[in-house]
Amino acid sequence: MPVNLELKARFASPGRAHECAAACGASREGTLVQQDTYFRVPRGRLKLREFDGAEPELIFYERPEDDAERWSRFTRETVGNAPALRIVLTDAFGVLAVVRKRRELYLFRDARIHIDEVEGLGTFVEFEVTGGKTAASVATMKDLRDAFGIADESVVRASYSDMILAKRISTGT
């Protein structure tokens, strides 16, 4: 199973996030409009990701939720008929949450930088360093945190699905 190093943080200004990405030399790869449907599974997380203009993906991942920077093990597979697959997975497991976001994607070294506008939650910056469990991955994460000025208090340890669920519980919707 591939492994990456992840960090997610609240970021008040999308414009400032774009400036930080440009200043560190990251290349802008485009905009992704995504819907992630999370299913209730006995361990880890399973989501069906649907994109505007791209093939849907089924993604399973496991990671600790208590660290700021987290090693995540994941499997990702492109799938065909997303609506039919969503029905099968919903029947089998039930839907946990649906997350809709607009994601600006940048690439920096062996990392993906996501500037996310998440429906109902706000703006976040997410780093995914894809080089495996290496000193180089840790160094890249440090360089990204420094370039974006990510302080420990702005780091979010929950997944977007957990945040959507918490918001639903707190508002009673």
pLDDT of residue 173: 65
53-92: per-residue pLDDT in tens? 889 999 999 998 877 889 999 999 999 899 999 999 999 9
pLDDT of residue 64: 86
Query: What is the rounded average pLDDT for all residues in the chain?
Result: 94
Res. 39 pLDDT band, cuts 50 70 90: very high
* Strand duo 70-78 + 54-62: pairing: antiparallel
- What average pLDDT does the segment 24-48 reach? 97
Q: Where are the chain's structural domains?
A: 3-171
Contact between 34 and 103 under an 8 Å Cβ cutoff? The reply is yes
Helix (H) or strand (E) holding 90: helix 82-93
- What average pLDDT does the segment 154-173 reach? 89
3-171 CATH choice from 2.40.320.10, 3.30.450.20, 2.60.40.10, 3.40.50.1820: 2.40.320.10
